[in-house]
């Protein structure tokens, strides 16, 4: 079984069907999701992350049903959004990263080691004791990512993670997302160069998956549909 399996999925939000009859089976380590504003990309990401549920159809993420195995899925999936302020909850940088491990049954010294390693990896050691909300936007996104990765997730779902970043921070964030490791990546993005770093891509159009395949071909099809 692929780690992302959707079969005849409908998602209803408000009084509209936001995803309609979505079927896909994706197992590439890195998957890009592209499409126009309002097409349903974030809805697809939130569905895969267990934040919303299907009205009908079957969803399996890492072999789990997000509606029934929400707690197990949460332990294996990390979510990253474009606005890191929604994810930063603790007063200092180090505390915020440690907060991500609160549910892990690790001895305290191991947790401390994991936090220190993650801070180093994300270039945040020097600001470990700073107030989280005093960081720059780019540093905050690195902190959000650090908090996601310190849990060693099997799947990272990132929804426009580079949207508000300058070119250098966008590259840093992307390099972490694409770093070799155990995690798979489901990446929603309007950055079509970034999408093409993925192994596969899906094009979402008007609430459904219009195409899936090699990122270069999907991006070309999307650009043609946009008329650019
Ligand atoms: N909670 C909600 N209630 C009602 N409608 C919603 C809700 N959330 C999203 N929608 C609608 O669902 C559609 C798809 O939204 P979604 O955020 O998934 O699109 P998107 O492709 O991620 O867009 P963008 O590129 O602009 O971020 C839009 O028409 C949106 O207005």
Q: Which CATH number fits the domain that encloses residue 140?
A: 3.40.50.300
Cα 192 to ligand 1 centre (Å): 20
Q: Is the pLDDT of residue 228 over 80?
A: no
Cα 86 to ligand 1 centre (Å): 18
Arithmetic mean of pLDDT over the chain: 95
DSSP E strand boundaries for the chain: 4-13, 16-26, 30-35, 56-61, 77-80, 155-159, 184-188, 200-205, 208-213
Query: How high is the pLDDT of residue 103?
Result: 86
Per the structure, the count of domains in the chain is 1
Mean pLDDT value across residues 187-209 = 97
* Enclosing domain of residue 61: 4-226
Mean pLDDT value across residues 87-103 = 95
Mean pLDDT value across residues 95-104 = 94
Query: First CA to last CA across the chain, in angstroms?
Result: 37
| Neighbour count for residue 95 (Cβ, 10 Å) | 14
Mean pLDDT value across residues 91-116 = 94
Ligand 1 site-directed mutation target among 18, 51, 188, most atoms within 8 Å of CB: 18
Cα torsion angle, 171, 173, 174, 175, sign: positive
Mean pLDDT value across residues 141-158 = 96
The residue among 158 and 180 whose pLDDT is bigger is 158
Q: Is the pLDDT of residue 161 over 90?
A: yes
Residue nearest atom 25 in ligand 1 by C-alpha distance: 37
Q: Is the pLDDT of residue 105 over 90?
A: no
Query: How high is the pLDDT of residue 175?
Result: 94
Q: Is the pLDDT of residue 200 over 90?
A: yes
Query: How high is the pLDDT of residue 26?
Result: 97
Q: What residue spans of 80-166 are helical by DSSP H?
A: 93-99, 108-121, 137-149
């Amino acid at each position: 079984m692929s780690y992302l399996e959707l079969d005849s999925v409908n998602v209803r939000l408000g009084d509209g069907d936001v995803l309609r009859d979505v079927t896909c089976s994706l197992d590439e380590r890195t998957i890009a999701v592209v499409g126009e504003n309002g097409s349903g990309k974030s809805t697809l990401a939130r569905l895969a992350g267990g934040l919303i549920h299907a009205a009908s159809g079957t969803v399996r993420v890492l072999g789990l049903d997000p509606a029934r195995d929400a707690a197990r899925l949460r332990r294996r999936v990390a979510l990253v959004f474009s606005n890191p302020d929604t994810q930063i909850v603790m007063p200092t940088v180090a505390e915020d990263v440690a907060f991500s491990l609160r549910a892990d049954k690790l001895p305290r010294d191991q947790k401390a080691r994991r936090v220190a390693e993650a801070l180093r990896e994300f270039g945040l050691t020097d600001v470990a004791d700073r107030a989280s909300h005093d960081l720059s936007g780019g540093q905050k996104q690195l902190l959000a990512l650090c908090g996601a990765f310190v849990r060693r997730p099997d799947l990272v779902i990132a929804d426009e993670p580079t949207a508000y970043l300058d070119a250098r921070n966008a590259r840093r964030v992307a390099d972490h997302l694409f770093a070799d490791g155990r995690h798979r990546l489901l990446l929603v993005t309007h950055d079509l160069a970034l999408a093409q770093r993925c192994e596969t891509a899906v094009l979402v159009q008007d609430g459904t998956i219009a195409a899936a395949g090699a990122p270069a071909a999907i991006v070309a099809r999307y650009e043609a549909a946009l008329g650019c």
